[in-house]
Amino acid sequence: MTILQDDLTEITVQNAPVCEAVLSRAAFVCESDAAWNSLVDNSECQDIYYRPGYVRAYETAGSDRAVAVTVAAGGSTFLVPLIIRPLRQISFGHEMDGYDAITPYGYGGLLHVDRPLENSQDTIQEFCDSLRGWCLENGVVSILLRLHPLLQQEEWFHRSQSGVILAPYGRTVALDLHDWNENKDRLSGLSRGRRADLNRAHRHLRLTWASESPEHIGEHLLHFQKIYEERMKELEANKSYFFPPEYYFSLASGLGRDFDVSLAWSGDELVAGIIYMAGPQFAHAHLTGANETGRLYGASTMLINEGARWARRRGCRWLHLGGGKSGEDALFEFKKTFGGSLFQYSSVWIIADPMRYERLVSIRRAQQGLPEPRANFFPEYRA
């Protein structure tokens, strides 16, 4: 397997050194975080999901490896941040060589780096072919790309392509930060229920921000992890929604001022918290949790309103709240009550090695003692 090599060659895009070549002339892996950041800086959208400071946090959770693959297609350059996962980590794959890859949790997908995309269908076909070629050269069986809703990337993949599946998931909610009620000092689109929540929260709760006392950010992170994990346990969330302490510390150090944690308190009791991240255009509510007291006093509404204020001070246009836990569920409906706009969230499933993929699926189906595979889950052998 040759995902990472020592004898890599530096190349140049638009007169700026960007990354290092791996085997394929059309696809490269960035070994330097400075080069990786340079690609994002020169792109049409410098969103936080594409930064190494975000992607590398996922290396702290296990044996997975963060890489940034660049793909040349149709005279354009694309950046694809990925988490490379060894197949041997699958319950039945202890002796298996090879990998699969996935966009980190969130909405990164692919990033168009340089000039405006022209003749997009042919370019995207070439992109998929080149990315599949890189996968085959490096033993990667499949890739799950989570597309960026605010960039409407699903439109690039509407044309049917061999080995590539566009999988719509649901919609997400983003708040237009220009839509602000200056007199009431709040988001303009709040529903009647959210306005009542906000008034109640102001009477009973206080907020703290990690950025207000950076010397104590470690305490903020541990407080947040506690309230978040308590809520995930209440919801019986999948283990993939739980992160080690190193994850939070890596995010904070990797993103710097683009990262913050807001906590809500009732007296000395921690009742809710949200992690925020932001680039120049988009801010994101990344993870959130609240206990029964927090829900009683409308803590999440207060945290989101104050998060919108935080993003506005930074000059962001949108605060992305994301979607539901499972499609357009109760969580999604709650987010809609803040007003804002709806965006389609989709993923792209790329099967680079069909024969090996089907073999893995067959092995998975033959396993005794495993639950039935989840419907519409990719890759199916991990379902």
Question: Is the torsion defined by CA of 155, 160, 166, 170 positive or negative?
Answer: positive
Tell me whether strands 99-102 and 140-146 are parallel, antiparallel or unpaired: parallel
Classified by CATH at the fold level, domain 10-169+346-382 comes out as: Aminopeptidase (3.40.630)
Per-10-residue mean pLDDT of the chain, 383 residues long, equals 33 33 62 92 92 93 86 91 94 88 92 76 90 94 96 86 88 97 96 97 97 94 97 90 94 97 98 97 97 97 98 97 86 95 96 95 89 88 91
Residue 197: the pLDDT is 97
Q: What is the dihedral of CA 255, 147, 39, 123, to 10 degrees?
A: 180
Residue 118: the pLDDT is 64
Q: Domain 178-316: which CATH class?
A: alpha beta
DSSP, collapsed to helix, strand or coil, labels residue 150 as helix
Predicted TM-score of the model (pTM): 0.90
178-316 matches 10-169+346-382 in CATH topology: yes
Please spell the DSSP secondary structure of 58-103, one letter per residue. Answer: GGGGSS-EEEEEEEEETTEEEEEEEEEEEGGGSTT-TT---EEEE-
Residue 173: the pLDDT is 97
Distance CA 217, CA 192 (A): 35
Domain residue ranges of the chain, discontinuous segments joined by +: 10-169+346-382, 178-316
